Amino acid sequence: IDPSGRGKDETAVCVLKSLNGNIYLRRNLGYREGYSDATLSNIVDIAKQERVNLILIESNFGDGMFQALLQPYLAKHYPCTCEEFRSTTQKEKRIIDTLEPVIEQHRLIIDPQTVKDDLDTTQGLPPEDALSYRLFYQMTRISRLKGSLRHDDRIDALAAGVGWFVEQMKQDQDKMEDKRKDKTFKEELDVFYSNGKRSCLTKNVIQGLIPATVISNLPLRKRRKIQRSWRQM
């Protein structure tokens, strides 16, 4: 959620899901009533319909006020975890750097309903204003120049959600790499103790394939046995 007060800016809401390395854009909407009861109720309804399990709220506006206003509605209708985040870099550059790699790799999949919502939610606006509020207009007009868009709320919310998923994917890759190293270590350790001979365990430790901290956590008797094999190399 990219909150805003009453005025020309929108409170933008973006719903994303992820599966098999792809990111799915399910909903992208904008509300121009700021933090009215109708806006807060609609946000909770969308979260419930989409079975959202985490709501990210940009704290730049109001320093956490929007989350405080939303929490009672969530507690009553759809209890859900909320987290705040803060953006500090130039908006246009941050949005492009986040979305460009994902779109180029065809990993952002857009629900057709999002396109319909993008049109329907701007129907009551003058034609000269309606375009600037639409997500897909913002996606095709943004540049790295500061202020390149009259309105950027919807694409900003999309970039924030995509950025969160990309960061989670990186962490998952790191965890998988750690698991691979642990598995390699256990296999080498089994070979070492099963045949009583020196194996390539020490070579893998020296090359950094197996974390040295794993060795240090072994019982003293096993560490000494490994150290003796090192001296024989």
pLDDT reported for residue 212: 52
Average pLDDT over residues 156-167: 93
- In this predicted structure, the answer to whether residue 89 has a pLDDT above a threshold of 70 is yes
Residue 217's pLDDT band (cuts 50, 70, 90): low
Question: Which of the two residues, 226 and 184, has the higher pLDDT score?
Answer: 184
The stretch 156-172 carries a mean pLDDT of: 88
pLDDT band for 86, please (50, 70, 90 cuts): confident
Residue pointed to by tokens 């999002």: 114
Between CA 69 and CA 152 the distance in angstroms is 23
For residue 202, what pLDDT is reported?
Answer: 55
CA distance 59 to 180: 38
The predicted-structure confidence for 116-135, as pLDDT tens digits, reads as follows 999 999 988 888 889 999 99
What does the CA dihedral 156, 161, 165, 170 come to, rounded to 10 degrees? 40
Q: CA quadruple 95, 97, 101, 107: dihedral positive or negative?
A: negative
Which is nearest to 27 in space by CA: 111, 134, 130? Answer: 111
Whole-number pLDDT of residue 131 = 92
In the predicted model, is pLDDT for residue 184 greater than 90? no
- pLDDT band, very low/low/confident/very high, at 206 (cuts 50, 70, 90): very low
Q: In what order do the strands lie in the sheet with 108-110?
A: 11-19, 22-31, 108-110
Q: Which of 25-29, 88-92, 155-159 has the lowest mean pLDDT?
A: 88-92
Residues 6+ apart with CB under 8 A from 50: 15, 17, 26, 27
More confident residue, 174 or 206: 174
Query: 49-61 burial, b if ≥16 CB within 10 A, otherwise e?
Result: eeebeebbbbbeb
Spatial separation of the C-alpha atoms in residues 5 and 41, rounded to whole Å: 16
Residue 195 clears pLDDT 50, i.e. is over it: yes
Q: Residues 22, 97, 144, 57: is their CA dihedral positive or negative? A: positive
26-52, pLDDT tens digit by residue?
999 999 888 889 999 999 999 999 999
DSSP β-ladder status, 81-85 and 11-19: unpaired
- Give per-residue burial for 9-23: e unless 16+ CB within 10 Å, then b: bbbbbbbbbbeeeeb
DSSP assignment of 193-218 equals HHH-S--THHHHHHTTSS-HHHHHTS
